[in-house]
Amino acid sequence: MIARNLAAAVAIVAVATLPGAASAQLPQGAKAPTFATQGALAGKGFTFDLAKALKKGPVVLYFFPKAFTQGCTLEANAFAEAMDDFHKAGATVVGMSADDLPTLKRFSTEECRNKFPVATANKALIKAYDVGFVMNGQDTGLSNRTSYVIGRDGKVKLAHSDLDWREHVSRTLAKVKELKGR
């Protein structure tokens, strides 16, 4: 099992450096599946409930393959740096991955810099958001790199899938700024 996870992580790092996009299957305007799951913020566990979070404003759900891999670490650092701007726009940001809760607790402090939560995405949630990471025709059990902006109405306002992490923050931030006041 450890060898399989290590091989998947190494493969993700290698693939994440390639340009290209996977297509998100939840199109703009689709109703986002609601869910509740366990997460971590600043190393402390909590329950994240999408329906409750949407009552406060738009939600950015960004799915990432594996905590502590190069691309996922850089993406988490970038979201952490932009968190003040997301808060000013009234948005909640939550990173989502198939990692276990102890790993996400550590990731929330070390790479998310205590600025935003990360939460577990089980197989059903990964399937519901159609973000499964498939390599060589095989389901890895991980999520691909897809960011969704979900409006207060529960509908997808933006879906961006690309293994290259660099545009996820700027695209989601631009969309939540556009939604501010709606």
CA distance 37 to 44: 14
Beta bridge partners of 63: 96, 146
Mean pLDDT along residues 13-26: 46
What amino acid is encoded at 54 in this protein? L
Task: Give me the residue spans of the domains in the chain.
Answer: 2-179
SS3 label, residue 26: coil
Residue 116 reports pLDDT greater than 90: yes
pTM: 0.86
Residue 100's pLDDT band, with cuts at 50, 70 and 90, is very high
Based on its alpha-carbon atoms, the radius of gyration of the chain, rounded to whole angstroms, reads 15
Question: Which tens digit of pLDDT belongs to each residue from 126-147?
Answer: 999 999 998 888 889 999 999 9
Other C-beta atoms closer than 10 Å to the C-beta of 20 total 9
pLDDT at 15 over 90: no
Residue 164 tokens, joined: 């290259």
Third-level CATH fold of 2-179: Glutaredoxin (3.40.30)
Determine the average pLDDT of the residues in 93-111: 98
Task: State the pLDDT at residue 135.
Answer: 87
More confident residue, 8 or 57: 57
Model confidence at 181: pLDDT above 70: no
CA 33 from chain centre, in angstroms, equals 14
Residue 45 CA to its chain's centroid (Å): 17
DSSP single-letter state for residue 31: B
Q: What integer pLDDT is reported at residue 19 of this predicted model? A: 35
60, β-bridge pairs: 93, 149
